[in-house]
């Protein structure tokens, strides 16, 4: 989500790799093993931030021209409730995805990684990344359609 989180995760990954070196069996390459540690820590970080309710965006609405920004907390309560319900629905939909699709979707849509970066992180081909992302998005669309009949 931000540079500081990425640096913290990187530092933690190298510390864990160092302390776990005796357990490294060499069944996979060292870089694959290290990538798995980084991915697991990134996913743990996402879960932790979701549980604590923190977000990576500013909690204000855009200011009208010549005006001041308005805190999101002053929004219409019905809008706030609807937004929370949509987020909860998306979270449930993402949780239902197979782990491989979920990882690719989170890395692309939440973390903002490119297809090439995702390919390196998860250790699969670019085509596989694109395929997993396609099916993950399709599944989320189905979940959303079940709850919102006006979606195409």
- Average pLDDT for 79-103: 81
Q: What is the pLDDT of residue 60?
A: 44
Q: Are residues 91 and 47 in the same domain?
A: no
pTM to 2 decimals? Answer: 0.51
77 and 143 co-located in one domain: yes
Above 60 in pLDDT, residue 131? Answer: yes
38 vs 28, more confident: 38
Residue ranges of E strands in the chain: 60-61, 70-71
Do residues 15 and 88 share a domain? no
Over residues 92-125, the pLDDT tens digits come to 888 888 989 988 988 888 778 889 989 988 899 9
| Mean pLDDT on 73-94 | 72
**pLDDT score of 58:** 41
Residue 141, pLDDT > 80, answer yes
Which tokens in the block code for residue 130? 């694109």
CATH number at residue 113: 1.10.10.10
Q: How many domains does the chain have?
A: 2
- Residue 11 placed within a domain: yes
pLDDT at 124: 93
Is 16 domain-assigned?
Answer: yes
Domain for residue 109, yes or no? yes
Would the pLDDT of 129 be above 90? yes
**60: which DSSP letter?**
E
Domain with 146, as residue range(s), is 73-152
For 33-70, how does the pLDDT look when each residue is reduced to its tens digit (9 = 90+)? 777 888 888 878 877 777 666 544 444 444 444 555 44
Q: Would you state the pLDDT for residue 57?
A: 43
Instruction: State residue 97's pLDDT score.
Output: 87
Per-residue model confidence as pLDDT tens digits over 1-10: 567 877 788 8
Q: Which residue has tokens 């219409």?
A: 76
Asked if residue 67 is part of any domain, the answer here is no
Domain for residue 68, yes or no? no
Name the region of 68 (left: φ>0; alpha: ψ -120 to 50; beta: rest).
beta
Closest CA to 85 of 12, 18, 5, 148: 148
52 and 112 assigned to the same domain? no
């Amino acid at each position: 989500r931000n540079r500081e989180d990425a640096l913290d995760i990187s530092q933690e990954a190298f510390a864990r790799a160092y302390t776990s070196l005796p357990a490294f069996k060499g069944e996979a390459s060292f870089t694959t093993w290290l990538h798995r540690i980084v991915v697991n820590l990134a996913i743990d970080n996402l879960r932790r931030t979701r549980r604590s309710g923190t977000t990576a965006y500013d909690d204000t609405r855009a200011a009208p021209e010549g005006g001041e920004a308005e805190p999101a907390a002053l929004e219409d309560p019905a809008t706030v409730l609807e937004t929370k319900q949509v987020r909860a629905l998306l979270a449930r939909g993402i949780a239902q995805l197979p782990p491989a699709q979920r990882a690719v979707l989170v890395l692309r849509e939440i973390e903002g990684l490119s297809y090439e970066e995702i390919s390196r992180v998860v250790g699969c081909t670019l085509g596989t990344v694109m395929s997993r992302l396609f099916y993950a998005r399709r599944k989320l669309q189905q979940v959303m359609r079940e709850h919102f009949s006006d979606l195409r």
